[in-house]
Amino acid sequence: GTVKPLVLFLPPSSNDDNHQNKFCLSNQFECANHHCISHRFWCHCPGSFMCVPQRWKCDGDKDCPDGADESSPECGECSLELTSVIKCIDLIKGILCRCHPGFQLKRDGKTCVDIDECTTTYPCSQHCLNTHGSFHCLCVDGFELSPNDPTFCKSTSDVEPYLIFANRYYLRKLNLDGSNYTLIKQGLNNAVALDFHYAEQMIYWTDVTTQGSMIRRMHMNGSNMEVLHRTSLSNPDGLAVDWVGGNLYWCDKGRDTIEVSKLNGAFRTVLVNSGLKEPRAVAVDVRYGYLYWSDWGDNPHIGRIGMDGTNRSVIVKDKITWPNGLTLDFINDRIYWADAREDYIEFASLDGSSRHTGNNMLCQGVVFYGFINSNKQDFAENVRKVNLLSCCFFCCFFLLYSSVFH
């Protein structure tokens, strides 16, 4: 530890006693040589000729020979019952307290209160239960806590999840550990948006060109490719499959619309045709019947509307610039998006409240449903969510790449 240097002053001579404090002010201490030092910075040890820095007074260490620097009436507040305090140091004015892990000081400076990690740091990949001084992570059916990380839920299924992505000219898939890198389809013009139908093993995507854009679909094995829409399309940048109602939603930043049709392309209808400038991505919540979209135009925002065209609202409009990729976390009831201008991934509750900027822990528990082929169609029967283990870079990269670069 640090050695505290003590200062020793010579005592005044016997015939000099009358001079004590004669030459000094009331807030000063007079040394034997009649030099004056400030009581503000130095503390005289009674009964000795030793002085210690004032900051050492009431610091918990007995620096004076008789411990007088710690026995002052100004010290002693730490003798109070502070059961949740891990350490208390008496100061000349007040006390300095530190709390046990899992607690934080209140404004009074001496009371420790529990930290609700579940709503501040979001430590769990799925459900979080706050406890006194700590927290506990819980998993939904079909998942269990990882033995290597008690905050992370891993799937108990033997089904190997994989990533599907588009890179303009081709569609590919690969396992989450980077293996089994497979070509699904090549020879495309400019594939931008992508989604899939798990039960039917069907991929849907948009092909955007200046000569003419299209919305297509085909089976996962690359067979039965067909064009669903080719007329009245400009820049369909976002696409979402409603696997329950059998509908297909997309946004078109060239026409400033959000449209819907059946999965086979029939009964095409414009759902939103006002208030949009640069609609970028769409996502559907089939549980509550809402469609979400992002718009990075003059008034960037994230909005939602009933999948039947009712109850339209803007849920995020502040501190957002270029909202791109959009996805829903069905387990925690959150919406995630990527801001290409601000370079972050953020999430909020489904109504736009409780916003929080993501980090690596959050990325571990996020599924970008547009790219992960998990059994989301079976959600109503058995919630399934593919956790991305430690592939935050992978997911964020493909999310941003598919959304921004086309």
Compute φ and ψ for 292, nearest 5 degrees.
-110, 145
Check: CB of residue 304 under 8 Å from CB of residue 271: no
Confidence category of residue 107, pLDDT binned at 50, 70, 90: confident
pTM of the model: 0.69
> Exposed e or buried b for every residue in 18-29, given b needs 16+ CB within 10 A?
eeeeeebeeebb
For residues 45-50, give the mean pLDDT.
Answer: 70
Angle at 379 between CA 377 and CA 382, to 5 degrees: 125
What's the pLDDT score for residue 253? Answer: 93
pLDDT at position 111 is 79
- At residue 37, the pLDDT reads 72
**Structural domains of the chain, with CATH:** 7-72 (no CATH), 76-114 (2.10.25), 157-404 (2.120.10.30)
Confidence of residue 21 (pLDDT cuts 50, 70, 90): very low
Reference 126, options 141, 114, 113; nearest CA is 141
Distance CA 68, CA 321 (A): 61
pLDDT in tens, 243-278: 999 999 999 999 999 999 999 999 999 999 999 999
- Kind and range of the H or E element at 401? helix 392-404
pLDDT at 343: 87
Q: 42-44 and 50-53: which strand pairing?
A: antiparallel
Name the nearest CA neighbour of 313 among 332, 286, 333, 293. Answer: 293
The more confidently predicted of residues 55 and 317 is 317
- Tell me what pLDDT residue 398 has: 35
Q: Are 295 and 280 in contact (CB under 8 A)?
A: yes
Q: What is the model's pLDDT at position 78?
A: 59
What CA–CA distances, in Å, run from 137 to 4, 267, 303, 357, 391?
46, 45, 31, 20, 21
Lowest mean pLDDT, pick from 2-6, 184-188, 322-326: 2-6
Question: Mean of the per-residue pLDDT values for the chain?
Answer: 79
Structure tokens at 6: 């003590």
Is the pLDDT assigned to residue 54 strictly greater than 90? Answer: no
Q: What is the 3-state secondary structure (H, E, C) of 147-204?
A: CCEEEEEEECCCCCCEEEEECEEEEEEEECCCCCCEEEEEEEEEEEEEEEECCCCEEE
* Res 331 pLDDT > 80: yes
Q: How confident is the model at residue 91 (pLDDT cuts 50, 70, 90)?
A: low
**pLDDT tens-digit map of 219-248:** 999 899 999 999 999 999 999 999 999 999
What per-residue confidence (pLDDT) applies to 222? 87
* Residues of the chain above pLDDT 70, percent: 71
Q: In this predicted model, what pLDDT tens digit does every residue of 171-210 receive, in sequence order?
A: 999 988 888 899 999 999 999 999 999 999 999 999 998 8
372 or 346: which leads in pLDDT: 346
User: Under a CB-based contact definition with an 8 Å cutoff, are residues 330 and 306 in contact?
Assistant: no
What's the helix, strand, coil split of the chain in %, to 5?
10, 40, 50
Q: What is the pLDDT of residues 371-381, one digit of tens each?
A: 333 333 333 22
Residue 77 has what pLDDT?
A: 57
